[in-house]
């Protein structure tokens, strides 16, 4: 994998080590030594005050990978081995947590506490626009006539920043807060970020925005692995964006999943074909009934956005199930007694799985790569596992922006001649504002709107394994090999 930053390397390495311990039946017995082995005595770690802090961070980052979160800690003296035992007990007798994400408080300790600061570029000018325009009188002058901000009074409105003629006032973003398009993450009274799940749409933008790797998804890896070890039948349904994740044939990727212990592998692209046909017919029916437009329903982050932030959009959202929805039912019909495990690049699929009784667990491509490494499974050496069902190219194309829209139009053929389809790819603040306007006015420059949380589509999801550019390129190459089409 082409890791783009060190936080990704840390996540991968830690989960790999945990899986390796599990593989050797040593997870409980040896996990307490893992932080020490990862940060040995006299090692140097830029960004942390000392090795003890780094070891503490390793410990707490292990909790969400074990399927726990920070609220599970009631005593700081509780060793990791006890948490590991709890995780395995949950895998044996319980269900994964409903919470999707958590913030590692020990890692979330070095971020900026202020948003605006006056630099030494300040010329102490006579205009003093920063001072004059501040609504809270938070700006004053030092003895040398340079301006200063009283951060106890400042409300971070940014007026001083905009008014300074020398650009001497800088805006210092909090990366995770800046990335969140719905203001679902903010600091608590202790300066630690907190995720408000009543607002969160699980787009995962904060996950990779945090420079300290303090935001984690709560993993279901050991819930799945434990059940496989017990001999339970587990079926993997794999998202279309798998085509852009691993540098080998797709048959070998599926073969590697079989080596993990999955009883069968089913492509979610097969379910996408049901989504296409159902959504196409629904679109035609609604337009004939006089509805002005219809949006897609595949992206669970978009559904969360509508439910929590744009309820006026609900009448315009397709009632068709997502590809995961249909693929899970295909899997259940083929293997009635099996548990279904969705594998993809999406954080929000964990939330969708909570709505869907046919999906039992969700793993990400990032987690799957760590599992394969921890189990010492080499994908390029895996025995190929070919699919018995060949999905159309357009169904595999759901992985990229415009894919859903293009598939529906291709399916409708002549019926789509008068349908103008548009896409909203990337649920950022600007695009969310656009969707609000669409819902409020009903005025849309198209009758069919594809909405995806991730810029570029699922292939750029927050939990993808491959680097974005390489993943897109590989996906395009793999799509070109698909012969079956509408």
Q: How far apart are CA 148 and CA 146, in angstroms?
A: 7
3-state helix, strand, coil in the chain (%, to 5): 45, 10, 40
Q: How far apart are CA 240 and CA 474, in angstroms?
A: 12
Instruction: Please give the full DSSP string across 229-259, using - where no structure is assigned.
Output: HHT--EEEEE-GGGGGTSSS-HHHHHHHHHH
Q: What is the CA radius of gyration of the chain?
A: 25
Give the architecture-level CATH label for domain 116-173. Answer: 2-Layer Sandwich (3.30)
Q: At what angle do helices 221-230 and 6-23 cross, to 10 degrees?
A: 20
Q: What pLDDT score was predicted for residue 108?
A: 86
On whether the CB atoms of residues 279 and 408 are closer than 8 A, the answer is yes
Per-residue model confidence as pLDDT tens digits over 229-260: 999 999 999 999 999 999 999 999 999 999 99
Spans of all domains in the chain: 6-110+176-222, 116-173, 233-481
CA atoms within 13 A on the CB side of 431: 19
CATH topology match: 6-110+176-222 vs 116-173: yes
Indicate the DSSP class of residue 317: B
Return all residues near 426 (Cβ < 8 A) that are at least 6 apart. 452, 453, 454, 455, 456
The CATH T-level fold of domain 233-481 is: Fe-only Hydrogenase (Larger Subunit); Chain L, domain 3 (3.40.950)
The CATH T-level fold of domain 6-110+176-222 is: Alpha-Beta Plaits (3.30.70)
Q: What pLDDT score was predicted for residue 8?
A: 79
Q: What pLDDT score was predicted for residue 46?
A: 64
Q: How far apart are CA 36 and CA 52, in angstroms?
A: 9
Q: What pLDDT score was predicted for residue 110?
A: 66
CA-closest candidate to residue 138, choices 120, 104, 115: 115
Q: How far apart are CA 456 and CA 90, in angstroms?
A: 37
Q: How far apart are CA 153 and CA 141, in angstroms?
A: 15
Q: What pLDDT score was predicted for residue 185?
A: 94
Q: What pLDDT score was predicted for residue 1?
A: 43
Q: How far apart are CA 227 and CA 254, in angstroms?
A: 19
Ordered mean pLDDT values, 10 residues apiece, the chain (486 residues): 68 95 97 93 75 90 95 92 95 91 86 86 93 95 91 92 94 93 89 92 94 93 96 97 95 98 98 97 96 96 98 97 98 97 97 96 97 96 95 96 96 93 95 97 95 95 92 95 93
């Amino acid at each position: 994998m082409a890791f783009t930053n060190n936080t990704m390397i840390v996540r991968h390495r830690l989960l790999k080590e945990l899986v390796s311990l599990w593989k050797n039946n040593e997870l409980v017995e040896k996990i307490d030594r893992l932080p020490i082995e990862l940060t040995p005595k006299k090692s140097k770690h830029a960004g942390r005050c000392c090795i003890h802090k780094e070891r503490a961070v390793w410990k707490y980052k292990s909790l969400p990978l074990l399927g726990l979160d920070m609220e599970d800690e009631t005593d700081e003296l509780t060793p990791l081995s006890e948490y590991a035992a709890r995780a395995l007990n949950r895998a044996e007798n319980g269900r994964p947590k409903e919470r999707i994400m958590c913030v590692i408080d020990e890692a979330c300790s070095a971020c900026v506490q202020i948003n605006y600061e006056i630099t030494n570029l300040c010329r102490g000018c006579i205009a003093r626009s920063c001072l004059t325009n501040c609504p809270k009188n938070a700006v004053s002058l030092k003895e040398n006539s340079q301006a200063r901000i009283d951060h106890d009074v400042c409300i971070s409105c940014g007026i001083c920043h905009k008014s300074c003629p020398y650009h001497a006032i800088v805006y210092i973003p909090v990366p995770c807060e800046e990335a969140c398009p719905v203001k679902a993450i903010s600091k608590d009274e202790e300066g630690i970020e907190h995720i408000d799940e009543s607002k969160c749409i699980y787009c995962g933008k904060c996950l990779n925005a945090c420079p300290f790797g303090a935001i984690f998804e709560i993993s279901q890896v050991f819930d799945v692995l434990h059940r496989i070890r017990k001999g339970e039948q587990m079926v993997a349904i794999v998202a279309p964006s798998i085509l852009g994740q691993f540098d080998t044939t797709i048959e070998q990727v599926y073969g590697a999943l079989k080596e993990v212990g999955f009883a069968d592998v089913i492509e979610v692209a097969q379910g996408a074909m049901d989504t296409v046909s159902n959504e196409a017919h629904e679109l035609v029916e609604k337009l004939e009934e006089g509805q002005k437009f219809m949006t897609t329903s595949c992206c669970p982050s978009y559904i969360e956005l509508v439910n929590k932030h744009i309820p006026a959009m609900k009448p315009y959202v397709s009632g068709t199930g997502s590809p995961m929805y249909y693929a899970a039912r295909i899997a259940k019909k083929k293997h009635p007694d099996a548990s279904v495990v969705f594998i993809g690049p999406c954080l929000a699929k964990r939330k969708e799985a909570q709505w869907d009784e046919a999906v039992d667990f969700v793993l990400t491509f990032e987690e799957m790569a760590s599992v394969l490494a921890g189990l010492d499974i080499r994908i390029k050496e895996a025995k190929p596992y070919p699919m018995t069902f060949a999905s159309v190219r357009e169904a595999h194309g759901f992985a990229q922006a415009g894919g859903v829209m293009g598939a529906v139009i291709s399916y409708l053929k002549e019926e789509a001649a008068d349908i103008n389809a548009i896409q909203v790819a990337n649920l950022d603040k600007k695009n969310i504002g656009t969707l609000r306007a669409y819902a409020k006015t009903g005025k849309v420059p198209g009758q069919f709107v594809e909405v995806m949380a991730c810029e570029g589509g699922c292939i750029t999801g927050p939990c993808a394994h491959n680097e974005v550019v390489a993943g897109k390129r590989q996906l395009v190459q793999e799509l070109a090999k698909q012969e079956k089409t509408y």
